[in-house]
Structure 1
Amino acid sequence: MQLKLENHPCFNDSARHKFGRIHLPVAPKCNIQCNYCNRKFDCMNENRPGVSSRLLSPGQALHYLKQAVLLSPNISVVGIAGPGDPFANSEETMETLRLVRKEFPEMLLCVATNGLNLMPFIPELKELEVSHVTITINAIDPAIGAEIYAWVRHEKRMHRDIEAAELLIGNQLAALSALKAAGITAKVNTIIIPGVNDRHVLAVAEKVSELGADILNCLPYYNTKETVFENIEEPPADMVADIQKATSAFLPQMKHCARCRADAVGIIGEMNSEAMTEKLHEAARLPKNPSETRPYLAVTSLEGVLVNQHLGDADRFLVYGMDPATGTCSLIDSRPAPKPGGGQHRWEAVADLIGDCRALLCSSAGDSPTKVLNTKGIEVMVLEGVIEDAVTGLFKGEDIRHMTRNSRKHACSGTGGGCG
């Protein structure tokens, strides 16, 4: 089937009033910290990258997409744009793209990334016919980049200052060249930050034009509280217009960017509808693999009141269910845990033991059990708080991010721990 590339509303101004796009929020982790970014805050009335009212697994994302196209048949593009970086969440991103391509062969596929870890995935992106990729490149001079990025985490190593900027910029420019060699349409986003890179954007435009970029989006910096740049005011409209005019000597300009959320859907510039938001929340309440029947939640607890036990220390799993008639949650079973030892085999036994549970709630968990359980379709959720509040919130699809012990990490608060 011939993909209709002209129907992408972000890359074709004439298409933006007719065709819509949908962003699937399957990528929560980020591998860099920008000094203008804070993903802790999420108001449904704000449009900015890095926020999403819910996170989805690849299976949930496909379910949501099927519902979304019924509500909005004009959706022509499926994109992944966070709320972190797609390739800091490469397994989830690539699996989502595979599922969508198989189910919707006519859809345009699109990814927006910082470019740090893009290069290894370009061959499969081409194979999946991902037609459009956006890279945010804010500087080509490492000295300027060092002012913009607090840290970069690549291949399990932390980098800061000039070293971090050099690594990021080098990977971005190499990936841009590789995208064009693969025949993929490439857009470059450059955020105009007054007093930081506003006089440098022209150099960025010239360089990315040399490497084959197709279109440039010079978008104004968005002031966000509790960031390093929170005291920098947003650029005035005349500054943005002057920069767009100057850089148009090198590349066509995108001037209709709405700084979309990671869960944006519909026509660019329009807010997500209540009906669409409910479909997103409904998908997030499903098991990670929605085709499976997993009606329960498992919990590790020392005394049966709080989520307060490390997964590896659990001697039993408390299993909770919800009565659909009354909406009340209750303890339905207590299952003895497999004996310690045995490595991966123990965690496979745990997965079999709680195979009817869509998630396991614990106070902490190691990488190995988390990976095994996730592979088996059981989400490991690291929480702290009252069991009843957690399980009731999850069954009812409420936002319980305030209970997650790793919420600060996923919010990119600046530590960099574990965000790779």
Structure 2
Amino acid sequence: MELNVLDKAGSNSTGSCSSSGGCGGGSKGDQPPLAHLPAHIREKVQNHPCYSEDAHHYFARMHVAVAPACNIQCHYCNRKYDCANESRPGVVSELLTPDQAVKKVKAVAAKIPQMSVLGIAGPGDPLANPKRTFDTFRQLSEQAPDIKLCVSTNGLALPECVDELVKYNIDHVTITINCVDPEIGAKIYPWIYWNNKRIRGVKAAKILIEQQQKGLEMLVARGILVKVNSVLIPGVNDEHLKEVSRIVKEKGAFLHNVMPLIAEPEHGTFYGVMGQRSPTQEELQDLQDACAGDMAMMRHCRQCRADAVGMLGEDRGDEFTLDKVEEMEIDYAAAMVKRAAVHASIKEELEEKVAKKARLAGVSVVTGTTQNAEIARRYRPVLMAVATSGSGVINQHFGHAREFLVYEASPEGVRFIGHRRVDQYCVGNDTCGEKESALAGSIKALKGCEAVLCSKIGFEPWSDLEKAGIQPNGEHAMEPIEEAVMAVYREMIASGQLDEEEALCQANA
């Protein structure tokens, strides 16, 4: 009888993507994260892969590196301008002029019609380079009006730039806010450059925080959507970020993205050299869940390079270097027609997906009845990893994956948790040792997951995954991710794997 109730629930995802196209993952049982937003705002984010969890399966983004200078120093940042080997913010292969950037954007938009968003995010701070940034936005607003424009900033120069942002229809702005307490800020920012002076310590942090909060309020007052990024730094601002989340929500930010600190020593950052550790996956998820009580949480961020091109989780920048772009002949008027058709097709597919979720949401397992409450207590949640190359379906071979998306299945539904980067296991003619290392790395990255869903998987990784307590599953190829995850969860319940009452009885026997 209980299994029948669960079957009716299907893949309801009350804690995942919403009918708004929203970014996933408030705490379980929450309303869809962006359901509180007016329809005209939901419309703004439905094809923005950095703001909408649904959209990131379908739409591509692009960053152009036109802003080399920065007006603050962060202990977690080391900008590199000619690097092709690192995947993190602040890193680029080529620094562009505004003219070069516009030409490159039009080439990418023509070749990748799913590209819906152009952002300027560095490698320094865009608003510390106002002429280069706004020259780029001005030309794109004139020559490529079908592309959404957005900017990411540390916020120090934000208040004085709000009018200019409005002028070029920039309706998505991301502010990196790591603290609202100057004492904590002094541990993150050694200095800022303000009014032609270098200012240090608590005084510098206080000025930065005041400018960030003022800029946030001004943007919200002008109807601009604000996402707040925060870097989780264990022992520095980990507990404090709950307060940050509460305050930025009160001031009108609609989405919070808590990201893990990247602190490998080889990157040359202060934190990396000094041995500051990054958070564990469990610490990141716990903090995201804690902050989700205050506002919608973004969980699909990839901490992209400042010159990233393509879908989230991939980078096709090598296809669009300046020398290659110069050789391309682009008919952008024709490209706009093709782009419009592709976007309309994606929108139709997303609307069908959303409608299906809405129907399923009305038959949630946890309805408040005693029986369903007992079901929720009886069956524990499970983490599952998914190999996908996009479109919201399981369509990637285990050995081809460079990352896995992680979902949590429970009697309340399916919710997106985050992603885990890995090295490809199938790497052509590389040595056996390299393949073994990649497989061991993948198994380590999937810690905590009890199943991995993919389109295909070889015998050797299958065996090693099973030994590690991770059950491979290739039976749901080309199926929608959330439906497949819930189907596997139901199978686990039917087999008795998730019955906590039975497990407790066995443990006490």
> So what's the TM-score if we normalise by structure 2?
0.54
| CA displacement 1:301-325 (0-9 Å, x = unmatched) | xxxxxxxxxxxxxxxxxxxxxxxxx
Quote the residue 1:275 is aligned against: 319
1:127 to 2:171 alignment:
no
User: Given the alignment, which residue of 213, 227, 248 partners 2:269?
Assistant: 227
Quote the residue 1:240 is aligned against: 284
2:238 alignment partner AA:
D
2:209 alignment partner AA:
I
1:38 to 2:78 alignment:
yes
How far residue 30 of structure 1 moved from its aligned partner, in angstroms, is 0.5
1:110 alignment partner AA:
C
Quote the residue 1:141 is aligned against: 181
Report if aligned partners of 1:54, 1:281 keep a CA contact under 8 Å in 2. no
Take 1:45 and 1:267, find their aligned partners in 2: how far apart are those partners? 18
Report if aligned partners of 1:217, 1:254 keep a CA contact under 8 Å in 2. yes
| CA displacement 1:85-133 (0-9 Å, x = unmatched) | 0011010001100111011112111100000001111112112111100
| Corresponding residue SS for 2:256 | strand
User: In the TM superposition, what are the counterparts of 1:261-272 in structure 2 within 5 Å?
Assistant: 261-272=305-316
How far residue 45 of structure 1 moved from its aligned partner, in angstroms, is 3.8
2:213 alignment partner AA:
L
User: Given the alignment, which residue of 195, 202, 206 partners 2:242?
Assistant: 202
2:269 alignment partner AA:
T
How far residue 224 of structure 1 moved from its aligned partner, in angstroms, is 4.0
User: In the TM superposition, what are the counterparts of 1:363-378 in structure 2 within 5 Å?
Assistant: none
| Corresponding residue SS for 1:16 | helix
Take 2:278 and 2:131, find their aligned partners in 1: how far apart are those partners? 35
- Larger fraction in strand: 1
How far residue 40 of structure 1 moved from its aligned partner, in angstroms, is 3.6
Q: Identify if the C-alpha distance between structure 1 residues 178 and 86 changes in structure 2 by more than 3 Å, giving closer, same or farther.
A: same
Quote the residue 1:259 is aligned against: 303
How far residue 68 of structure 1 moved from its aligned partner, in angstroms, is 1.1
1:82 to 2:122 alignment:
yes
2:153 alignment partner AA:
T
Take 1:108 and 1:281, find their aligned partners in 2: how far apart are those partners? 26
Q: Identify if the C-alpha distance between structure 1 residues 234 and 42 changes in structure 2 by more than 3 Å, giving closer, same or farther.
A: farther
Task: Return 5+ residue gaps in structure 2 as ranges.
Answer: 1-40, 328-509
Take 2:141 and 2:78, find their aligned partners in 1: how far apart are those partners? 32
How far residue 220 of structure 1 moved from its aligned partner, in angstroms, is 0.3
Quote the residue 2:69 is aligned against: 29
How far residue 155 of structure 1 moved from its aligned partner, in angstroms, is 2.0
Q: Identify if the C-alpha distance between structure 1 residues 144 and 12 changes in structure 2 by more than 3 Å, giving closer, same or farther.
A: same
Take 1:146 and 1:284, find their aligned partners in 2: how far apart are those partners? 45
Take 1:38 and 1:128, find their aligned partners in 2: how far apart are those partners? 30
Q: Identify if the C-alpha distance between structure 1 residues 284 and 118 changes in structure 2 by more than 3 Å, giving closer, same or farther.
A: farther
Take 1:283 and 1:166, find their aligned partners in 2: how far apart are those partners? 44
Quote the residue 1:191 is aligned against: 231
User: Given the alignment, which residue of 255, 269, 282 partners 1:215?
Assistant: 255
2:291 alignment partner AA:
T
Quote the residue 2:360 is aligned against: none
Quote the residue 2:149 is aligned against: 109
| Corresponding residue SS for 1:77 | strand
How far residue 228 of structure 1 moved from its aligned partner, in angstroms, is 2.1
Take 1:152 and 1:224, find their aligned partners in 2: how far apart are those partners? 24
Report if aligned partners of 1:28, 1:89 keep a CA contact under 8 Å in 2. yes
Task: Return 5+ residue gaps in structure 1 as ranges.
Answer: 286-420
Quote the residue 2:502 is aligned against: none
How far residue 157 of structure 1 moved from its aligned partner, in angstroms, is 1.1
How far residue 260 of structure 1 moved from its aligned partner, in angstroms, is 0.5
Report if aligned partners of 1:79, 1:112 keep a CA contact under 8 Å in 2. yes
Take 2:306 and 2:323, find their aligned partners in 1: how far apart are those partners? 14
1:10 to 2:54 alignment:
no
| Corresponding residue SS for 1:219 | strand
Quote the residue 2:95 is aligned against: 55
Take 1:213 and 1:62, find their aligned partners in 2: how far apart are those partners? 29
| CA displacement 1:338-397 (0-9 Å, x = unmatched) | xxxxxxxxxxxxxxxxxxxxxxxxxxxxxxxxxxxxxxxxxxxxxxxxxxxxxxxxxxxx
Q: Identify if the C-alpha distance between structure 1 residues 65 and 139 changes in structure 2 by more than 3 Å, giving closer, same or farther.
A: same
Take 1:54 and 1:120, find their aligned partners in 2: how far apart are those partners? 28
| Corresponding residue SS for 2:270 | coil
1:167 to 2:212 alignment:
no
| Corresponding residue SS for 1:94 | helix
How far residue 71 of structure 1 moved from its aligned partner, in angstroms, is 1.7
Report if aligned partners of 2:81, 2:93 keep a CA contact under 8 Å in 1. no
Q: Identify if the C-alpha distance between structure 1 residues 281 and 133 changes in structure 2 by more than 3 Å, giving closer, same or farther.
A: farther
How far residue 73 of structure 1 moved from its aligned partner, in angstroms, is 1.1
Take 2:45 and 2:159, find their aligned partners in 1: how far apart are those partners? 23
Report if aligned partners of 2:49, 2:59 keep a CA contact under 8 Å in 1. yes
> So what's the TM-score if we normalise by structure 1?
0.65
How far residue 41 of structure 1 moved from its aligned partner, in angstroms, is 7.5
Take 2:57 and 2:96, find their aligned partners in 1: how far apart are those partners? 27
Take 2:244 and 2:323, find their aligned partners in 1: how far apart are those partners? 39
Take 2:170 and 2:264, find their aligned partners in 1: how far apart are those partners? 31
Report if aligned partners of 1:5, 1:131 keep a CA contact under 8 Å in 2. no
